[in-house]
Amino acid sequence: MANVASRGLFITFEGIDGCGKSTQIEMLSSLLDEKGISYLMLREPGGTVVGEKIREILLDKKNDGMDPVCELLLFEAARAQITNEVIAPALRDGKVVICDRFYDSTFAYQGYARKFGQQVVESLNSIAVSGNDPDITFLLDIDPEEALIRRNGRGAEDRLEALGLQFQKDVREGYLLLSDRYDRIRKLDASMAREDIFAEICQIMLTELGERGFDV
């Protein structure tokens, strides 16, 4: 069914590596398919020709000598591209946009764990997204040691996953700081069964879609 919202809905999923974001995003896409709601599924960095090339550079373990400033600016470059090329037009068309990571990742990974600080990261994020902020962010919170066990069963680590357990602990602390600061961030216990996690996501999503004029 068509929706009547004047602007779409921007949903992001966040959490440390191995928290289960991909599973929940897949379940949410199935729900939107059932409801006949138009949506766009994206990942960050990536989602555009330029962004996917940047993603390859960022995650390639061969680039383990990458300077942290270079890392930060590459993430922001990919974000500017996907925002202006894909996200902003989709929201203007009234679509639901679901993104696997967005600028909260940059705060948690680079701003907090890499210690660039909130002010630097927020300034760069503001330039990159041009006011296209998420409406709802689902933060899947999990103990880093449990997440590590999950990741051990899915193949080779990328460059950021390979930074170790303490780095993931620092990233989690950054996320928790954000969740205390912003009401849009809905923290969920990612150690629960995936069906229980999705039940909470589903309730929030259906309420928000209805309030914004989507036919649910």
Q: pTM here?
A: 0.93
| Interstrand relation of 39-43 and 185-189 (parallel, antiparallel or unpaired) | unpaired
Q: Domains of the chain, with CATH numbers?
A: 9-211 (3.40.50.300)
- Name the phi and psi angles at 48, rounded to 5: -140, 170
Residues in the chain, total: 216
Among the listed residues 138, 160, 180, 188, the one whose alpha carbon sits nearest the alpha carbon of residue 11: 138
Per-residue pLDDT of the chain in tens (216 residues, 90 and over written 9): 344 446 799 999 999 999 999 999 999 999 999 999 989 999 999 999 999 999 999 999 999 999 999 999 999 999 999 999 999 999 999 999 999 999 999 999 999 999 999 999 999 999 999 999 999 999 999 999 999 888 886 667 888 888 889 999 999 999 999 999 999 999 999 999 999 999 999 999 999 999 988 888
- N-term to C-term CA, the chain: 9
